[in-house]
Amino acid sequence: MAHLDYLKAVLIAPKTRATRFNGRLLQLVNVPRLTLTTLAAHTPFEGVSLKVIDENVENMLTPETLSTSADIVGISAMTPEALRAYEIADMYRRRGIKVVLGGIHPTVLPEEALQHADIVVRGPGGSAWAQILNDFRRGQLKKLYDGYSMQNQRVPLQTEERQLLTSKSVYSIATVQTSEGCPRSCNFCSVKLLHPDFVRYDLEDVIKDIGSVEGRYLIFVDDNLWANKPYAKELFRRMKGLGKTWISQAPITIGLDDELLSLAAQSGCRGVYVGIDSVIEESLRSANKKVVDVAKIPEYIRRIQDRGIFVEAGVIFGFDNEDASVFERTLDVYDKTSVDSLNFHILTPYPSTEIRRILEKEGRIIHNEWDKYDTRHAVFKPAKMSQEQLQEGYEWAWKQSFSLGMIGKRVLHSGHPIYSAIFQLAGMLDHASILEEDGLVSKAVSRFVDKHLKEIPLTARDRNNVQLYCQEMSEPEGCGMPGSYFNEAHYNSRAWDHL
């Protein structure tokens, strides 16, 4: 292999059908994953030009538009994105360009991924990505890189890396992470497969990361930000006064700890997504989920809301002990609470999870169409109802829960009518897009929002990025896709100022 002094690398997040909205609406509601940003932060400074493409917010790659001048392409895939990731990988490989696949899906199914890639990375990928770029240059690439056995030193994120995704002013909310993994082991969850250990980051680094966020709004992407209470409390103390407004996932039991809740509220917490998952205790037990006292759910929710924190509850349908009455029973329970919003999922047997092993053994997996592994499709045979009953019951729950009567009731009972109304709208859109797979409603809504919000004035940062974009387009080696090419100089903020 040729010795390369200057390497052109591309990182790609593939689009999935789960991304329902386009344009400004997507910009307002979507969450940027930290994946590409983190890999960009690990990309060696010297002699590498990096382009980042997030298909969720850019035009989809086609054989005509993909970069032919790239040397190496890294693609990330969670399970519902795997088929699209493979399509993109195949397109590049047909051009003779080396492809690296990483993320949770290639981690658990490396052999499958290797049918579409030259290199697969298992586990945490930052150090592996840096190593791959070096090995590529030296002509010493391997087929499989094991991220678990590498040092994986954390590289704090810089504003510039964040701008790789926000540079087209695409995302309005920033994401931050304080930990990897989760101390619990629910049998349907993939988290333990990617992160066997629960690792918390140094708080100094986390505060620096938060400092690299230009805007006010944050989402913590931790699977369990609140798992270690002393750590969480210290984080919230240090965040007080930073002027951020944030939301995260959380266990419902945070409702038991007054000090934790009040520190969270003072640090800017305004909403939590509580994965109660089921209001049937037997379902929780069967999934090895922490069993909560269902009778106490209304009280927990109210206690969180009393601190000015909005509560959205996540529900999973399809556990083995559940028959077709579960949908009505669940809505009855939530009807007696003041919950601000509900979000429904169908139990999904992701590869290599415990629940998948059980269902495989019993011959109950219906198919492996990964793009339907999105918690919106029943992909296995439930024990006490048919696959159709599970699918229809799930859709019925959305419809009931987002009927005008229910929305009105929740907005009125909510301590935060405005936040509640926004979340109800998002829920309605979610529900509408679930019922119409071809996306007509979401396309119409996206068009409406684009038309009415496009007059938002450009910020100084937007202008800077428009200039950057123009420069890219005149760059002969650019592939023509609106991504963000940059070279080693980009880390130097003065270089940005001069663009």
Q: Are 248 and 272 in contact (CB under 8 A)?
A: yes
At which residue do the structure tokens 């039991």 appear?
A: 253
Coil vs helix vs strand at 54: strand
Complete DSSP assignment for 218-261:
EEE--S-TTSSHHHHHHHHHHHTTS--EEEEEE-GGGGG-HHHH
Q: Of residues 270-289, which lie at the interface with ligand SF4 (CB under 6 A)?
A: 275
- Pick from 25, 41, 100, 346: which binds ligand B12 (CB under 6 A)? 100
> For residue 223, what are its two tokens?
């699977």
Coil vs helix vs strand at 9: strand
- Pick from 60, 150, 155, 182: which binds ligand SF4 (CB under 6 A)? 182
Does 56 interact with ligand B12 (rule: CB under 6 A)? yes
332 Cβ partners below 8 Å, 6+ apart? Answer: none
Residues near ligand SF4 (CB under 6 A), total: 9
Does 223 interact with ligand SF4 (rule: CB under 6 A)? yes
Q: Please state, in angstroms and rounded to a whole number, the distance separating the CA atoms of residues 443 and 19.
A: 11
Does 252 interact with ligand SF4 (rule: CB under 6 A)? no
Residue 78's binding partner out of ligand B12, ligand SF4, none, with CB under 5 to 8 Å set by partner kind? ligand B12
Q: Of residues 372-431, which lie at the interface with ligand B12 (CB under 6 A)?
A: 374-375
Does 79 interact with ligand B12 (rule: CB under 6 A)? yes
Do strands 199-200 and 179-180 pair parallel, antiparallel, or not at all (unpaired)?
antiparallel
The three-point CA angle 245-103-360 to 5° equals: 115
- Pick from 40, 103, 267, 406: which binds ligand B12 (CB under 6 A)? 103
Q: Of residues 190-219, which lie at the interface with ligand SF4 (CB under 6 A)?
A: 191
Q: Are 467 and 473 in contact (CB under 8 A)?
A: no
- Pick from 43, 55, 86, 126: which binds ligand B12 (CB under 6 A)? 126
CB nearer to ligand SF4: pick between 112 and 223: 223
CB nearer to ligand SF4: pick between 185 and 262: 185
Q: Of residues 337-356, which lie at the interface with ligand B12 (CB under 6 A)?
A: 350
Does 33 interact with ligand B12 (rule: CB under 6 A)? yes
Residue 184's binding partner out of ligand B12, ligand SF4, none, with CB under 5 to 8 Å set by partner kind? ligand SF4
User: What separation in angstroms does the CA of 311 have from each of 178, 270, 465?
Assistant: 21, 9, 36
- Pick from 97, 186, 309, 346: which binds ligand SF4 (CB under 6 A)? 186
Q: Of residues 410-439, which lie at the interface with ligand SF4 (CB under 6 A)?
A: none
Q: Please state, in angstroms and rounded to a whole number, the distance separating the CA atoms of residues 154 and 38.
A: 9
Residue 275's binding partner out of ligand SF4, ligand B12, none, with CB under 5 to 8 Å set by partner kind? ligand SF4
User: Helix 387-401 vs helix 326-335: angle between axes, to the nearest 10 degrees?
Assistant: 20
Does 16 interact with ligand B12 (rule: CB under 6 A)? yes
Q: Are 136 and 100 in contact (CB under 8 A)?
A: no
Positions that interact with ligand SF4 (CB under 6 A): 182, 184-186, 189, 191, 223-224, 275
